[in-house]
Amino acid sequence: MIHNTQKLLFIGHLWPEPNSSAAGYRTLALLNALVNDKNDQGQSSWQIHFACAADKTEFCADLDSLGIHSQGISLNDSSFDHYVKDLNPEIVFYDRFITEEQFSPRVHEHCPNAIHILDTQDLHFLRRARQQALKKNTPVDFFSAESQDDCIREIAAILRCDLSLIISRYEMQLLTTQFAIHPSLIHYCPFMLSTEQLETSMLNQTLKTYNEREHFVMIGNFLHPPNWDAVLWCYQAIWPLIREQLPQTQIHIYGAYPSEKVYQLHQPDKGFIIKGRANNAIHTLAQYRVNLAPLRFGAGIKGKIADGFIAKTPCVTTHIGFEGMGDNKETWAGLVVDNSNQNEQAQHLAQAAIRLYQNRLLWQQQSQATHTIIKTLFSETEHSHALLNVLHHLKNHINTHRQKNFMGKILRHNLYRSQYFMSKWIEEKNKEK
């Protein structure tokens, strides 16, 4: 292990909002893992700086309380050059590939020895290709006219970086088999969920039983396209089928940043209730009997389902929702509906939701499985240790590591030259305004 405190810069796409989105929770979990990394003398291994070009909101995490230095930065502006040159970090994290595109040329120019780490959050090109496939009712095609630009840009960012964090095993397999990404360039790092939260929290001592719970729930940031699509599909095709057989039940829809089109679906007479932001997702989910996640496209793993597992609320979902969230469907904490056409899938989801809602014994079995999944697949201790070990190993062997990634060197050279000069051109144009 390294004994000297080193500077680490985390460049965020957004300021982390752990109660607004899974992405925000994920970023904060990574930062916490780094904050808690101590050397043999019990001192912090990293002096952590978080920089972001987005505006802060009232829902941002308090990074200062964690001992993290915060800095607002600007896109296409030489002020960032001065900032990163003065900071001179040993390691730079990029939150999503677009952030790597925007800032890595300037980091490379002023900090040529810095190690570059990309947190993909999820594979954006996978999610967007699935969205296009759903829209056109065709198989997923990463190289279609609509999808290939996303695919090329994100794969290029992965190759340019010294290491990329991948959130699901499915995406790990996709990158190594279909895109020939060398395993040394990617690291499996899913959600890091605390077992202490499961075992000692007040929530765990007061979780409601089957008889004490009622109604269905959906939760997810409305700015995320898969979530809005799921809500709209549920409203149009799934909920009417459930309501027909369970006329007294309701479904409560939670999520950050609801727009007017979301509130237009608020129909109390149909039992379809738009609740808006949940101040505490886990406490909210713990009030309901069934967590419904009818995702038709997406990627990565799903915070809405993980939060439900902590609350011991089983989930009914599609293969998209299940992806990365369980080893097999037999040990899933809820029910998974297999692929089929949209009409059949809506019917199967409704039937599965009704079955889980009405069958007390089945519900109890699935509810008990929730914490097993958290402990076995998303252990904070296991995955934080694995991440820190690979970072320290990379730091100690960076030259050898880079010698094996000649393609990345080519891509860095080409992007950094073109992107850097484009960025400088944009900066000069902005000065003229």
Can you give the residue ranges of every domain in the chain?
6-192+379-432, 195-377
Residue 406 has what pLDDT? Answer: 86
Average pLDDT over residues 270-279: 96
- Residue with the bigger pLDDT between 339 and 378: it is 378
Residue 396 has what pLDDT? Answer: 94
403: exposed, middle or buried (C-beta count within 10 Å: 0-12, 13-18, 19+)? exposed
The pLDDT-based confidence of 329 (bands split at 50, 70, 90) is confident
Residue 69 has pLDDT above 50, yes or no: yes
What's the whole-model pTM score?
0.91
Residue 220 has what pLDDT? Answer: 92
Residue 164 has pLDDT above 90, yes or no: yes
The answer for residues whose C-beta is within 8 angstroms of residue 225's C-beta and 6 or more apart is 131, 297
Residue 201 has what pLDDT? Answer: 46
204: exposed, middle or buried (C-beta count within 10 Å: 0-12, 13-18, 19+)? middle
Average pLDDT over residues 116-123: 97
Residue 184 has what pLDDT? Answer: 96
Residue 200 has pLDDT above 70, yes or no: no
Q: What is the DSSP string of 264-315?
A: TT-BGGGTEEEEE--SSHHHHHTT-SEEEE--SS--S--HHHHHHHHTT--E
User: How many other CB atoms are there within 10 angstroms of residue 101's CB atom?
Assistant: 18
Residue 196 has what pLDDT? Answer: 66
The domain made up of 6-192+379-432 is a member of CATH 3.40.50.2000? yes
Residue 326 has pLDDT above 90, yes or no: no
Q: Which of 26-40, 195-209, 270-284 has the lowest mean pLDDT?
A: 195-209
Residue 42 has pLDDT above 90, yes or no: no
CATH topology of domain 195-377: Rossmann fold (3.40.50)
Q: Which of 6-10, 49-53, 279-283 has the lowest mean pLDDT?
A: 279-283
Average pLDDT over residues 356-374: 95
Average pLDDT over residues 395-414: 87
Distances, alpha carbon 326 to alpha carbons 44, 319, 334, 370, in Å: 34, 11, 11, 10
What is the C-alpha end-to-end distance of the chain, expressed in Å? 50
Same fold for the pair 6-192+379-432 and 195-377: yes
| Phi and psi based region of residue 240 (left: phi greater than 0; alpha: psi -120 to 50; beta: remaining) | alpha
Residue 232 has pLDDT above 60, yes or no: yes
Q: Tell me the pLDDT tens digit for each residue of 133-163.
A: 999 999 999 999 889 999 999 999 999 999 9
Residue 30 has pLDDT above 80, yes or no: yes
Residue 287 has what pLDDT? Answer: 95
User: What are the start-end ranges of the E strands in 103-145?
Assistant: 115-119
Residue 61 has pLDDT above 60, yes or no: yes
Residue 58 has what pLDDT? Answer: 93
Residue 411 has pLDDT above 90, yes or no: no
- Residue with the bigger pLDDT between 39 and 97: it is 97
The pLDDT-based confidence of 44 (bands split at 50, 70, 90) is confident
Q: Which two tokens stand for residue 28?
A: 């904060």
Residue 1 has pLDDT above 50, yes or no: no
Q: Tell me the pLDDT tens digit for each residue of 74-96.
A: 998 999 999 999 999 999 999 99
CB–CB of 156/129 below 8 Å? no
Distances, alpha carbon 400 to alpha carbons 356, 396, 397, in Å: 53, 9, 6
Q: What average pLDDT does the chain have?
A: 91
